[in-house]
Amino acid sequence: MSALFSCRVSLPATFRADDILVFHRRDVQETAERVSGSSLEKALLWADTPSCLSIRLGPGEARAELTLDGEPASDDESAFKAMVRRMLGLSQDVDAFERQHRDHPQLGGLIAMQSGLRVPLAATPFEALSWAITGQQISVAAAVSLRRRLIHAVGRRHSCGLLCYPGPKQIAALSFEDIRRAGFSTSKANTLLELARLIVDERLPLDAWLSAVPVEQIREGLLAVRGVGPWTVDYTLLRGFGWLDGSLHGDVAVRRGLQSLLGRSDNVSESDARAWLAGFSPWRALTAAHLWAKQSTTAY
């Protein structure tokens, strides 16, 4: 095992470290992630090599290190630092959002209580996309269980003891029956396999899109796959790319949070949620994240 990269990243005074740690603490069995105090360890595949990302969050600074089992196939240090910054949400202009909406009659109080809130991101766009597919129309607990079983189905372990979250190449190598045995429905198994194969064949170049985030091209490419709908696309754009303007009006937790915020006794419809969120563009997804956080559902 050798350390490939290390870096220090400055954190703003309002940085909410607990949001990051809660997001990565979803799996209490610590299959691919381990949170201890203010530190995170996450096993992943760096250029298909089992690796462990360690991030220690301190006052004003995050220290990150990537260790590999074996020789690296890639030594792109700038990509590593960009991944760390992306995962911590540091490219998100939350200050501009808060200045714009801190006096809003409904959202202003929530912003004051949750000042500095950022959206934690997955390590890769594929991890965000596969999590979105996994979590379609089921509870967070059920989705975490499926995610855990998928990681075990691939079975790539780093020497730190954690299993690596698989990439598209590893998922594409699984059979339909392998994914079904992991507990996925027929439709989700088919969708996950098709997406993985499209990414491997570079027909959906998710990682290449990180540099520019061509939102409409990503949306068009993903929506062309059966089993991918608008919520999955907007969630992937948020958790995978850090795009903050997806309208997550179809999300049950968003609508439940909005119902509470508005003090309504009746359920908030998708059309009502869409109309309300529209006033917060280009930060509709960040607004949705505030509604998640209000319910302590930032782990989703």
Q: Starting from the edge strand earliest in sequence, which strands make up the sheet with 61-68, in order?
A: 2-10, 61-68, 49-58, 39-46, 33-36
Mean of pLDDT values over 154-179: 97
Domain match, 221 and 134 both:
yes
pLDDT at residue 76 in the model: 78
For residue 208, what is the DSSP state?
Answer: G
Domain assignment of residue 62, yes or no: yes
130-146 pLDDT, tens per residue? 999 999 989 999 999 99
Q: Answer whether 0.95 is exceeded by the pTM.
A: no
Domain assignment of residue 280, yes or no: yes
Q: Is the pLDDT of residue 267 over 50?
A: yes
Domain assignment of residue 236, yes or no: no
Q: Rounded mean pLDDT of the chain?
A: 94
Q: Is the pLDDT of residue 257 over 50?
A: yes
Q: What are phi and psi of 103, to 5 degrees?
A: -100, 10
Mean of pLDDT values over 17-21: 95
170-180 pLDDT, tens per residue? 999 999 999 99
Q: Is the pLDDT of residue 296 over 90?
A: no
Cα separation, 65 vs 55, in Å, equals: 7
Domain assignment of residue 66, yes or no: yes
Q: Residues 6 or more apart from 227 whose CB is under 8 A from it?
A: 133, 187, 188, 190, 191, 194
Domain assignment of residue 235, yes or no: no
Domain match, 97 and 59 both:
no
Query: Three-state DSSP class for 116?
Result: coil
**Token pair belonging to 31:** 């299959």
Q: Is the pLDDT of residue 298 over 60?
A: no
Domain assignment of residue 12, yes or no: yes
Cα separation, 271 vs 253, in Å, equals: 15
Percentage of the residues of the chain whose pLDDT score is greater than 90? 89
Q: Which domain holds residue 15?
A: 2-91
Q: What are phi and psi of 185, to 5 degrees?
A: -65, 165
When divided into structural domains, the chain yields a total of 3
Domain assignment of residue 74, yes or no: yes
Choosing from 43, 76, 91, the residue where a domain stops is 91
91-114 pLDDT, tens per residue? 999 999 999 999 999 999 999 999
Looking at residue 165, which CATH number applies to its domain?
Answer: 1.10.340.30
Choosing from 169, 195, 229, the residue where a domain stops is 229
Strand boundaries in the chain, DSSP class E: 2-10, 33-36, 39-46, 49-58, 61-68
- The terminus-to-terminus CA distance of the chain in angstroms comes to 32
The residue behind tokens 């027909």 is 203
Mean of pLDDT values over 220-243: 96
